[in-house]
A and B are shown apart, each in its own frame.
Chain A
């Protein structure tokens, strides 16, 4: 079976329309409608299909078929009352067609067909189905996509593809791998879901905590890749940041006010408020210290803070956790009118608290930086000695950048230069590298003077 890529499908459809002299308006609007529906409804419809057919691949193929059908009928017949219900109904029929054709699953076919044979138009039923159980079904699909039995990169790709409706080519571009590589990654993940029988359900009991943490981590990684791109020329990929926020908002609705989900949402909103201030017009990184704080998005800060405050004052479901504390750290930064006025004592205390939930060298490093501002560079340098002994951050660029900065402030210029050089060497992002180089040159010229 030849599976055409979305882009190719659309192009061929467009060409088809053009050759038949259909008004350009119709094509353009059909395009926009379908594009919007993919973004908005893809996750909902796909989750419903998967719930019914218990088969990722089949559901996705059937939904693609339905989108194609939409492109050819909507411009002619007009937009259906509920495009999502129309897509669901059509996709179900297409799935049944596909099952009929698949000889190898004859037994399964009999079972499914007897339950699902369409008698008449079930647009109405589809609409109801979408309205009622739908939210649980999307939640179930998020948990499947973020299952810890899948490799982390695959979890990210599968979540973006299935829930947000991003195209494989878009995800590939965002993560700077070829479309083929990304498609492979997704295919392998779907194969494992099937082979190992990873269920389409929301985990229960003891498994829920670990699995919710995995979902939140996947979303946070998506955001971070957008906020501080580890690869490529662009420092920020705003589309990934926005998708991550959308996903968290969805998760919050679906989980009914879970504290850590709220914590994550607050964190992402607060971080996002600095997106514009973080990158100069010519794409250079602007550190927190040098940011023009008037560029911070007040609206996002307000939203982030209000979510955080109601979460921390209790009354919500769930426990205290790492995302709530990280949001509190971010909030402490937004509270300061200038970098100098930052309450570093509070921040270093929050890092200490965070370390209890996330005992990683990265958290320890950030805590050391806060200490160095609260109590002087020597306090920070003493704190990072421990990380150095453990050697966990030997290839972590921010470690050398932070150490270099503390050494510079402590007046140990030569050692600072060595560490800046190491940081430049390890940086994978051009903007970041340029920033570090500039620092290095400034310091080197000071010595010469």
Chain B
């Protein structure tokens, strides 16, 4: 079963680029990728550019409304994701706890809906 792990954090939380801590965190992500791939769990995963680069679109009455910024104004914004193949929710939560950002941000774990083909 596939789970989407959505990685949220505040811009000013956690290690900032250029510091040794940041390098350590990136190392953590590399290890996560290696481990998840080795376990056959990894399906996909990418970091996103900052929330300031986000654009939100809505189609209302046939007209598009385009606004700057993410969908919801919150302190924690979506910064990246993993799509993983897991046995069950506990397995997925186990992987979520290994994502370095879980130490200062939060990881939302959502089962992927299976569309019957």
A interface residues (Cβ-Cβ under 8 A, vs B): 147, 149, 195-199, 201, 203, 206-207
Asked if B93 contacts A207 (CB within 8 A), the reply is yes
Q: How far is the CB of B23 from chain A (nearest CB, A)?
A: 26
Q: How far is the CB of B3 from chain A (nearest CB, A)?
A: 8
For chain B, the count of residues having a C-beta within 8 Å of the partner chain is 11
- Return chain B residues, CB-CB under 8 Å to A206: 94, 97
Residue of A nearest to B110 (CB): A196
**Across the two chains, which residue of chain B brings its CB closest to A199?**
B88
B1-39 interface mask toward A, CB cutoff 8 Å, 1 = contact, 0 = none? Answer: 100000000000000000000000000000000000000
Bound: A429/B62 CA distance, A: 54
Question: Is A149 in contact with B94, judged by CB distance below 8 angstroms?
Answer: no
Instruction: State in angstroms the CA–CA spacing of A147 and B94 once bound together.
Output: 14
Q: Indicate if B90 sits at the interface (CB-CB under 8 A).
A: yes
- A199 and B97 within 8 A (CB): no
Residue of A nearest to B1 (CB): A197
What's the Cα separation between A206 and B94 when bound, in Å? 8
The 18 sampled A-B contact pairs (Cβ below 8 Å) are A149-B89, A149-B93, A195-B111, A196-B89, A196-B111, A197-B1, A197-B88, A197-B89, A198-B88, A198-B90, A199-B88, A199-B89, A199-B90, A199-B91, A201-B90, A206-B97, A207-B90, A207-B93
* Chain A interface, DSSP helix/strand/loop, else mixed: loop
Among residues of A, the one whose C-beta sits closest to the C-beta of B90 is A199
Q: Which residue of A lies closest to B94 (CB)?
A: A207
Q: Which of A147, A195, A196, A207 gathers the greatest number of chain B CB atoms within 10 Å?
A: A196
Give the chain B neighbours of A199 by CB distance below 8 A. Answer: 87-91
CB atoms of B90 and A203 under 8 A apart: yes
Residue among A147, A197, A201, A207 with the highest chain B CB neighbour number at 10 A: A197
Bitwise, B101-114 to A at CB < 8 A (1) or not (0) is 00000000101000
Cβ of A196: which chain B residues have Cβ within 8 Å of it?
89, 109, 111
Cα A198 to Cα B3 in complex, Å, equals 12
**Which residues 75-103 of B sit at the A interface, judged by CB distance below 8 A?**
87-91, 93-94, 97
B97 touches A198 (CB 8 A): no
The one of A147, A197, A201 in contact with B111, judged by C-beta atoms closer than 8 angstroms, is A197
Known: A149-B89, A149-B93. 18 other contacts (CB 8 A): A196-B89, A196-B109, A196-B111, A197-B1, A197-B88, A197-B89, A197-B111, A198-B88, A198-B89, A198-B90, A199-B87, A199-B88, A199-B89, A199-B91, A201-B90, A203-B90, A206-B97, A207-B93
Smallest CB separation, B70 vs chain A (Å): 25
The 6 A-B residue pairs with the shortest CB-CB distance in the complex, in nearest-first order: A199-B88, A197-B88, A198-B89, A196-B111, A196-B89, A199-B90
Q: B residues within 8 A CB of A197?
A: 1, 88-89, 111
Chain B residue numbers with a CB within 8 Å of A195 are 111
Q: B88, B90, B97, B111 — which one has the most chain A CB atoms within 10 A of its CB? A: B90
A363 to chain B, nearest CB (A): 26
Nearest A-chain residue to B97, judged by Cβ: A206
A101 to B30, CA, bound (A): 49
Q: How far is the CA of A195 from the CA of B89 in the complex (A)?
A: 10
B contact residues around A198 at 8 Å (CB):
88-90
Please report the C-alpha to C-alpha distance between residue A206 and residue B97 in the assembled complex, in whole angstroms.
Answer: 10
Q: Which residues of A contact B97 (CB under 8 A)?
A: 206
Q: Taking the nearest CB of chain B, how far is it from the CB of A55, in angstroms?
A: 14
Question: Which residues of chain B have C-beta atoms less than 8 A from A201's C-beta?
Answer: 90
**What's the Cα separation between A149 and B93 when bound, in Å?**
10
Residue of chain B at shortest CB distance from A104? B116
Residues of B within 8 A of A203 (CB): 90
Residue numbers in A under 8 Å from B87 (CB-CB):
199
Task: State the Cβ distance, A217 to closest chain B Cβ, in Å.
Answer: 18
In the complex, what distance in Å separates the CA atom of A110 from the CA atom of B94? 32
The chain B residue sitting closest to A200, CB to CB, is B88
Contacts of B91 in A (CB 8 A): 199
